[in-house]
Structure 1
Amino acid sequence: MKVAIVVDSTAYLSEEIKKQNNIYSISLNTIFGEDTYREGKDITTEEFYEKMRGFSKLPNTSQPSIGDYILLLEELNKDGYTDVISLHLSAEISGTCQNALAAAKSVEGINVHVVDSEIACTPLGLLALYAAQNKDIKPIDELLEELNTLKQKNHMNSYFIVNDLTNLQKGGRLSNAQAFLGGILRIKPILKFENGKIIATEKIRTMKKAQDKVIQLVKSDYDADGHHGKDMIMTVIHGNDEASADAWIAQLKEDPVFSKTTFIKSYFGPVIGTHLGEEAIGITFADFDVDLTGF
């Protein structure tokens, strides 16, 4: 048995990390008018945010086509892979998982195991790293079972803050947007994934107060799930605002609750950035062990 790991571009893993861990990637797309850009290939994150600022409407996004998946699976089959663990952003906000399943039916000689992460960004990337670093150590059935356990909230979770809900509401990615429409331009909403859907949980008036509330929520999760004293991974993710991410990491490092936490930094790329908007910021954390070389 020879197992390949595939993850979609919303994991935002660097080329270095993917190469080190032999992870294959497939791109989602951002669409400005009639121009389509493959995430991670045709447009940089900086170029995307600059282009979005000058674009009068919200860009569209789309999942990889079934044809793109078939080409990747055929390539992996030719390279001698018998199995593929294909990890993707939540099926509740994208058709990526569905297209992976459809493509799997079209390519003979290779077994495709699709994992719906029920989340996106760094948590998805960490699951892919765990799979890549354990695929030659553990039986595939055991590894798949572990991945479906590790994606649960008691092992990893995330909270993120957007400047306003305009992009999420326009894009239809927010499940309970109506509850917030009255203050859509005046609040800093705190969002989370719940059963794979994006849910707005808090209405906060300033970014500083929203960040303080997120820290409270994370500490509550640490209490509830027994993370105190454990080696944890925490990622601060930013929407083209690296300075704010650095400042938040510096603040978190001073908190004794996070004394055994390893901090890394990532970003919201074009597809996720389309829906969260510029200057969004978030925290994710995970309790499982992966080699973070390259972050």
Structure 2
Amino acid sequence: MRKIGFVVDSTFGYNGKFASVVPLKVIIDNKEYVDGTIGEGILVDALKNNKSITTSQPSPNLFVQAFEHELEKYDYVICLTLSKTLSGTFNSANLAKDILEKENIIIIDTETVTEGALYIFEELLKLADEGKSLEEVLGEFKRIKANGSIIFSVDDLSTLVKGGRLGKISGIIGSLLRIKPILRFKEGVLTVEAKVRGLMSAFKYIIDQAKALVDHSNIVIRITYVDNRGYADQIYEMFKELNNDKIDVKIGGTLSPVVAAHIGLGGMGIYLAKV
């Protein structure tokens, strides 16, 4: 029996029974929706109609409840959050730990988001189920985190700029000459890594990034998207056509509404990690 319980936030997209999930919120035209319960169509409609969309972090009290629930069953709790550079969720979790005054709660900034954060959690859960100690699990976290990053392909940078996640200059550059920007999110930093012309050029760039990794190790690829499943299916097939048994590729489904609200329509995230 494992001795470590887990708490994650709703941007992980985790729907299983082996962790407590603390939800963020999406606010559309001043109406609040709980992340993970809002229908995909509601957010997509809001993005298409340029409605006011904001997001908010969970209250510390929600983390207090989650920690107490996990501590009823486990000796330790590891709380994983999306990157603190994207949200105040990490800070809320730490406030909750201070309220409880318990040193057996460990708060971890994954420095990533969505499929990247979910993959990290799933790997740590496996280790805990194997009976690994807290120190061993935390040591593996550092290795897993360093080996992965997310590439975002977006149709329009304006949503990221409006939400304050990207500078205006980068947004202007990305909107020129039908450029399709490629963004990289690694260890808490979001940058415009490349600018290509057209969707197929974007796909080719991402495929080339995977090829460079697979030359040296096995890799995992997790695909997620905002509203266009066709994009995800298309790049999935391109990965499969590489016919390389060192590549483990899956489509994880739609992005969490909180994340999708900042990425925008046509957005897609591809998590690449060395195993």
TM-score normalised by the chain length of structure 1 = 0.85
| Structure 1 residues 164-184: Cα deviation after superposition (integer angstroms, max 9, x where no partner) | 10000000112x542341442
Aligned partner letter, 1:247: Q
Whether the 8 Å contact between 1:115 and 1:148 is mirrored in structure 2 is: no
Q: CA separation of 1:189/1:159 partners in 2, compared to 1, >3 Å: closer, same or farther?
A: same
When the two structures are aligned, how many residues end up with a matched partner?
A: 271
In structure 1, what residue type is equivalent to 2:13? Y
**Structure 1: stretches of 5+ with no match in the other structure:** 289-295
Task: Name 1:293's counterpart in structure 2.
Answer: none
SS in 1 for 2:227: coil
The alignment partner of 1:188 has SS state of strand
Tell me if the contact between 1:8 and 1:87 (Cα under 8 Å) persists in the aligned partners. yes
Shift of 1:104: 0.5
Determine the structure 2 residue equivalent to 1:161. 153
Q: Is structure 2 residue 32 aligned with structure 1 residue 36?
A: yes
Aligned pair 1:99/2:86, yes or no?
no
Contact 1:82 / 1:109 at 8 angstroms: preserved in 2? no
- Flag structure 2 segments of 5+ consecutive residues without an equivalent: none
Judge conservation of contact 1:5–1:23 (CA < 8 Å) in 2. yes
- Secondary structure, aligned partner of 1:173: coil
Kindly indicate whether residue 251 of structure 2 is the aligned counterpart of residue 260 of structure 1. no
Partner Cα separation in structure 2 for residue 28 and residue 196 of structure 1: 19
Q: CA deviation at 1:218?
A: 2.6
Q: Is the 8 A contact 1:30 1:38 kept in 2?
A: yes
- The answer for the alignment partner of 1:178 in structure 2 is 169
Q: CA deviation at 1:201?
A: 1.1
1: CA distance between counterparts of 2:4 and 2:36?
Answer: 24
2:32 aligned with 1:46, yes or no? no
Provide the C-alpha distance between the structure 1 equivalents of 2:206 and 2:22, rounded to a whole number of angstroms: 32
Kindly report the root-mean-square deviation, in angstroms, between the aligned alpha carbons of the 2 structures: 1.9
Corresponding residue for residue 7 of structure 1: 8
- Residues 11, 129 of structure 1: alpha-carbon distance in 2 compared, 3 angstrom cutoff: same
Rounded to whole Å, the distance in 2 between the matches of 1:163 and 1:282 is: 12
SS at match of 1:86: strand
Give runs of aligned pairs for residues 1-295 of structure 1, distance below 5 A: 2-13=3-14, 15=15, 18-19=16-17, 22-41=18-37, 43-57=38-52, 59-77=53-71, 79-109=72-102, 111-136=104-129, 137-152=131-146, 155-174=147-166, 176-184=167-175, 186-223=178-215, 226-227=216-217, 230=218, 232-256=219-243, 258-266=244-252, 267-288=254-275
| Seq. identity, % | 28
Q: State the Cα deviation string for residues 156-198 of structure 1 (Å, max 9, x = none).
A: 2221110010000000112x54234144263211001143021
Contact 1:5 1:131 (C-alpha < 8 Å) held by counterparts: no
Provide, for residues 242-271 of structure 1, a one-character-per-residue CA deviation record: whole Å limited to 9, x for no partner: 122112111211114x43212211221211
Q: Distance in 1 between matches of 2:270 and 2:73?
A: 38
Runs of 4+ in 1 over 6 A off after TM superposition: none
Distance 2:206 2:74 in 1: 42
What's the TM-score once normalised by structure 2's chain length? 0.91
